[in-house]
Structure 1
């Protein structure tokens, strides 16, 4: 199976899958303001590059599915009761306009073709649905440290500023806003009716 996630990054995530949940989890309170920007109820959530499913596990939604390229991460997600599908983020195995929210949390910088990934997110969102991207600003002191650390660890990460990511979200046809700035920032895209 081809994968949009850089090959070396997939291998690393596969090896560290059992340890991944030792890192701080994304909390609902961090995601709630972004999800509230949806123009519809959020019941079906797709967590792209979602690893062990920390993102959807933080939410109280009827349907949450992780799409990830690393089999070890998906096994961990399933162990936590989260449905997982091995897939390519630039060719999501999901129908057009079939989900209310797409999460890409701490993952887009690991993907080889981020614009294609965002385009797929726009395709699978229902009108009124929301894309939530949580990323790290490489221009901050902490961001520069993270870039250095990820590259030293062997990741082939490519980071974006919040403004650059918002521009990419607009380019795929979603309205874009930046509700949270700083080292860890959030960009939200809404698919208008």
Structure 2
């Protein structure tokens, strides 16, 4: 799900990750999930790592999917979350089998963002929502983050909100830019017909 170097990095920093990262923005995620046109009973937190985003959500059955086994181990051990080692570009779930998917602070690490979006659209039931919380590379702090991640050897590819919304539209999701800033949220709701 991440570039190979990125997975190695997250495996190494897993024990310290939650100490360095602030909690996920539960309000922004909830605002994105509010766009779903169906009840949310089953949610995938793709690239969910240690379960930081899943911990900010309440209500649905949540499964954390991540390529870093060390981060996923923390989600299971520390937070008691259900977890599955997997690739965002090949989700091991049936078509139209989940109500919502979140990708929080991880989309820029995905080596094949197009495949990840296609898989999200495939696994979402009609009316289900994909909520991506990301960092805007056009924001001053975003430019610093991009430079910093590239300086430590990550293969990160950041996208601006309008670009991500356009990519969602192209694959049959009705996109909404929920909020903007250094951290932004885009929600895409699966249309009835793809």
TM-score class normalised by the smaller sequence: over 0.9
**Residue 53 of structure 2 aligns to a residue in which SS?**
helix
User: How much has 1:61 moved relative to structure 2?
Assistant: 2.3
Q: What is the match of residue 43 of structure 1?
A: 41
**What 5-or-longer segments of structure 1 have no aligned partner?**
none
Aligned to 1:6: 3
**1:61–1:149: structure 2 CA closer, same or farther, 3 Å change rule?**
same
* Alignment correspondent of 2:61: 63
- For 1:87 and 1:138, the matched residues in 2 are separated by 27
Over the residues paired in the alignment, what is the CA RMSD in angstroms?
A: 1.0
What CA deviation, in whole Å up to 9, does each residue of 1:76-95 have, x standing for no partner? 00011111111111000111
The TM-score normalised by the length of structure 1 is 0.95
Deviates most, 46-55 or 150-159: 150-159
2:24 counterpart (26, 36, 39): 26
- What does the per-residue CA deviation read over 1:143-186, in whole Å, with 9 as the maximum and x for residues that have no partner? 11000111122211011111111111111110011010111111
Partner of 1:54: 52
Moved over 4 A (4+): none
Q: Which residue in 1 is equivalent to 2:117? A: 118
Q: Distance in 2 between matches of 1:21 and 1:100?
A: 27
Number of residues of Structure 1 aligned to a counterpart in Structure 2: 190
State the distance in 2 between where 1:51 and 1:138 align: 22
Q: Is the 8 A contact 1:49 1:104 kept in 2?
A: yes
Secondary structure of residue in 2 paired with 1:54: coil
| Structure 1 contact 45–56 (Cα < 8 Å) conserved | no
Contact map agreement 1:45 1:61 (CA 8 A) in 2: no
After TM superposition, the structure 1 = structure 2 runs for residues 52-131 of structure 1, keeping only pairs within 5 Å, are 52-79=50-77, 80-131=79-130
Runs of 5+ consecutive residues of structure 2 not aligned to the other structure = none
